[in-house]
Amino acid sequence: MRYLPLTDTDREDMLARIGVSDVDALFSDVPAGKLLKSPVDLPRAKGELEVERILGRMAGKNTAASAVPFFVGAGAYKHHVPATVDHLIQRSEFLTSYTPYQPEIAQGTLQYLFEFQTQVAALTGMEVANASMYDGSTGTGEAVLMAHRVTKRRKAVLSGGLHPHYTAVVETLSEMANDEVVALKPDVSAQEDILSQIDDSTSCVVVQSPDVFGNLRDLKPIAEKAHAHGALLIAVFTEVVSLGAVVPPGAQDADIVVGEGQSIGNALNFGGPYVGLFAAKSKYIRQMPGRLCGETVDSTGQRGFVLTLSTREQHIRRDKATSNICTNSGLCVLAFTIHMTLLGQTGLARLAEVNHANAVKLADALAGVEGVTVLNDSFFNEFTVKLKKPAAEVVEVLAAKGILAGVPVSRLLPKAGLDDLLIIASTEVNTDEDRAALVAALVEVL
């Protein structure tokens, strides 16, 4: 077996040194009858070539985003990632290291975490950011729990514009912990009356912008009302590229900001691994979940970085910890921070501008198609259209024509009576030809 260095001679010599006759003597604590006598019923070892064939066949059955006109978003986005990013994250010293428990030989990881935290804080307009969560949805769940700790209240109000998967994650966590959740109905018009839901028992209000339907939301009045009642505003985003073009949540007085960072540096990966961004006002820092990297000095006075404030964490505080999170999204953080370093604010602003321009072009073109109504007043790179036929059916027909047209709202919210709605994203990867193909196909199908 190519991965195992020991030879049979080595094994014999080592058993002799240990003083046992065979390896099963080392498994003597396994209860009688429970030690397997032979390998389990699965195929035997295979060479690289055979593994490549098997997995290549599976992969070949899937339609890759790059292969077709592609407009699917709703929480994960197809973007171009510079070649430098994937090269660097595969360097051995990044790929095969672990959580930097020994900072003297992990300054590479620690320094990029510190740089990442600084980048996320700047992007969101917040004072501090942590070293990442698993993804945006689990980060949102953790943000709600954090708000409960800060306010010592247990009721969260969720906007109907929150991604339905995120809503489900928060509801699951809350149900388990016996916390209250008020989830507003999905509302494509973004006209929901969230302010009237906020009262003195509210711990937090969770609002996504751009919301799942693509609408840009004004967070400031919500922050004001929340603060007047001693509640926190948790601002959520699923498209981090939007922060290159829109007012950041920090400037609208959000208390906690959480979002999905996949768009920068990370592939679609059929849903994971992704990277959760998590930022807050610094006064809440000791209630934050997750790893934090901080600056310090070594015994000679040289600057260095360490994981810090770990008295919040599970390995110290156990059942009193702020979260159970341990391993998070290290390598996805690295991909994010390298891509963000390449972009800089200049490149990010340009990238955001191109995304917005492409979405505007597409929305304008679709507005001219009979049977299509664009529903958004404002949007960034994603918007929702109403079709005269069920969106899921239209998407299937277009998929058969080699166009991946978007996400039917019914995929996220079955039986919600929103079957005619389609969420469409257009990023920098789309060409004029892609858009023309989508428009032509819709004209034909509707």
Q: By CB under 8 A, name the one of 21, 35, 195, 388 that touches another protein.
A: 35
The answer to the question of residue 227 lying near another protein (CB under 8 A) is no
List the one residue out of 122, 123, 164, 158 whose CA is nearest residue 143.
158
Q: Which is nearer to another protein, 138 or 159 (CB)?
A: 138
Q: Which of positions 230-269 make contact with another protein (CB under 8 A)?
A: 243-248, 260, 267-269
Least Å from the CB of residue 401 to another protein: 12
Q: By CB under 8 A, name the one of 153, 155, 160, 166 that touches another protein.
A: 166
Q: Which of positions 410-429 make contact with another protein (CB under 8 A)?
A: 411-415, 428
The answer to the question of residue 21 lying near another protein (CB under 8 A) is no
List the one residue out of 158, 154, 125 whose CA is nearest residue 246.
125
The answer to the question of residue 191 lying near another protein (CB under 8 A) is no
Write 339-347 long-range contacts (CB < 8 A, 24+). Answer: 339/81, 339/82, 339/85, 339/264, 339/265, 340/119, 340/123, 340/264, 340/265, 341/115, 341/119, 342/82, 342/84, 342/85, 343/264, 345/244
Rg over CA atoms, the chain: 25
Strand 180-183 relative to strand 372-374: parallel, antiparallel, unpaired? unpaired
The answer to the question of residue 197 lying near another protein (CB under 8 A) is no
Cβ neighbours of 401 (radius 10 Å): 16
Q: Which of positions 53-112 make contact with another protein (CB under 8 A)?
A: 54-67, 70, 72, 74-76, 78, 82, 84, 86, 88-109, 111-112
Stretch that binds another protein, among 184-192, 223-231, 292-300, 433-441 (CB under 8 A): 292-300
Least Å from the CB of residue 371 to another protein: 20
Q: By CB under 8 A, name the one of 150, 205, 207, 216 that touches another protein.
A: 216
The answer to the question of residue 155 lying near another protein (CB under 8 A) is no
Least Å from the CB of residue 121 to another protein: 5
The dihedral of CA 32, 38, 40, 46: what is its sign? positive
List Cα–Cα distances, 432 to 50, 398, 446, in angstroms: 41, 18, 21
Phi, psi of 38 (to 5 degrees): -150, 170
H/E segment holding residue 225: helix 220-228
Least Å from the CB of residue 93 to another protein: 4
Cα–Cα distance for residue pair 421/375, rounded to 1 Å = 9
The answer to the question of residue 358 lying near another protein (CB under 8 A) is yes
The answer to the question of residue 320 lying near another protein (CB under 8 A) is yes
Q: Which of positions 118-137 make contact with another protein (CB under 8 A)?
A: 118-119, 121-123, 128-129, 131-132, 134-137
